[in-house]
């Protein structure tokens, strides 16, 4: 059995794909399950699979489709029997590709589609994968010196600073801001429920910084500090590997700064 099993949801490109690359490199004895809507169409995933044929599993998974989530749960259970790290990485700014700048841009369809991918999907992933997370080996993170229980696994929801109601000074981006604020509440709720029992799971939200990806590309000219995916994910994995149960339910930036909801 692999020393650790990680599932990256939304792995076709950008931060999700980089998580797969970084974890495979940093943890040689581990395996990664990379999921996205069309894994056969991702050149990056296909190349990574060719380089790691025995350590990378590719699965079709659209988080808006419950049946596909169930299929990947079954695959993970039968092939690996556990899950040590779940990263919900898939996200969308808006169906149009740009955030709403005012109320006149808000639509029911845009709100629902954004919430479905950014909030509902990660919550249902947590629901269906919770038993496998509870069966994890505790490979990632560290145990608190005063802890009487060993955590099993870690659940990461990729969030964003713009989802913080405390820090919102500019407005706009209704769908994206609201969906990420709700995702942070999702992480908090999960930390309470999955934190119970003798094998609790650490649940956190993480902000990757502004990264050079398709999602942020329309706004690069206004960004004072733009990160590569490699740098961002290296920082995020440093955070993941430093987590203890005292961190569960929190929202961290890429540099491990705790950020207000």
Q: Is the pLDDT of residue 220 over 60?
A: no
Q: Given this model, what pLDDT does residue 256 score?
A: 97
Which position has the higher pLDDT, 110 or 216?
110
Which stretches within the chain are classed as H helix?
14-26, 43-51, 66-79, 108-115, 121-134, 174-193, 229-240
Indicate whether 119 pLDDT > 80: yes
Neighbour-count burial of 207, counting CB atoms closer than 10 A to its CB (0-12 exposed, 13-18 middle, 19+ buried): buried
Which residue, chain included where needed, has tokens 């690996």? 80
Q: What is the pairing mode between strands 202-207 and 56-60?
A: unpaired
**What is the β-pairing status of strands 85-88 and 202-207?**
unpaired
pLDDT at 95: 83
What share of the chain in percent tops pLDDT 90?
81
Question: Across-strand partners of 227?
Answer: 211
**242 or 219: whose pLDDT is higher?**
242
> Which positions ≥6 away from 235 have C-beta within 8 Å?
208, 209, 254, 255
pLDDT at residue 100 in the model: 84
| pLDDT at residue 225 tops 80 | no
Query: Judging by DSSP bridges, how do beta strands 202-207 and 154-158 pair with one another?
Result: parallel
Which of the pair, 247 or 137, is modelled with greater confidence? 247
pLDDT-based confidence at 141, cuts 50/70/90?
confident
Q: Percentage of the chain with pLDDT > 70?
A: 92
> What average pLDDT does the structure give for the chain?
92
Delineate the domains of the chain, giving CATH numbers in brackets: 5-253 (3.40.50.720)
In DSSP terms, 156 is beta-bridged to 87, 204
Check: CB of residue 58 under 8 Å from CB of residue 39: yes
More confident residue, 203 or 167: 203
Most confident of 2-6, 145-149, 157-161: 157-161
Residue 151: per-residue pLDDT: 67
């Amino acid at each position: 059995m692999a020393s650790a099993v990680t599932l990256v949801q939304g792995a076709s490109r950008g931060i999700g794909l980089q998580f797969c690359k970084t974890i495979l490199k940093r943890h040689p004895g581990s395996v990664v399950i990379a999921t996205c809507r069309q894994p056969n169409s991702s050149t990056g995933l296909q190349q990574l699979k060719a380089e790691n044929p025995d350590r990378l599993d590719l699965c079709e998974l659209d988080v808006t489709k419950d049946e596909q989530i169930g299929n990947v749960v079954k695959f993970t259970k039968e092939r690996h029997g556990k899950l040590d790290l779940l990263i919900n990485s898939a996200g969308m700014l808006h169906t149009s590709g740009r955030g709403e700048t005012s109320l006149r841009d808000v639509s029911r369809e845009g709100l629902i589609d954004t919430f479905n991918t950014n909030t509902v999907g990660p919550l249902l992933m947590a629901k269906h994968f919770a038993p496998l997370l509870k069966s994890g080996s505790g490979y990632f993170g560290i145990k608190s010196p005063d802890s009487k229980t060993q955590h099993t696994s870690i659940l990461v929801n990729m969030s964003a600073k713009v989802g913080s109601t405390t820090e919102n000074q500019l407005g706009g981006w209704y769908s994206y801001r609201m969906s990420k604020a709700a995702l942070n509440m999702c992480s908090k709720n999960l930390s309470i429920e999955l934190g119970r029992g003798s094998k609790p799971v650490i649940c956190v939200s993480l902000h990757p910084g502004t990264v050079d990806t398709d999602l942020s590309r329309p706004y690069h000219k206004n960004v004072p500090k733009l990160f590569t995916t490699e740098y961002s994910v290296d920082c995020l994995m440093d955070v993941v590997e430093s987590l203890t149960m005292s961190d569960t339910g929190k929202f961290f930036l890429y540099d491990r700064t705790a950020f207000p909801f």
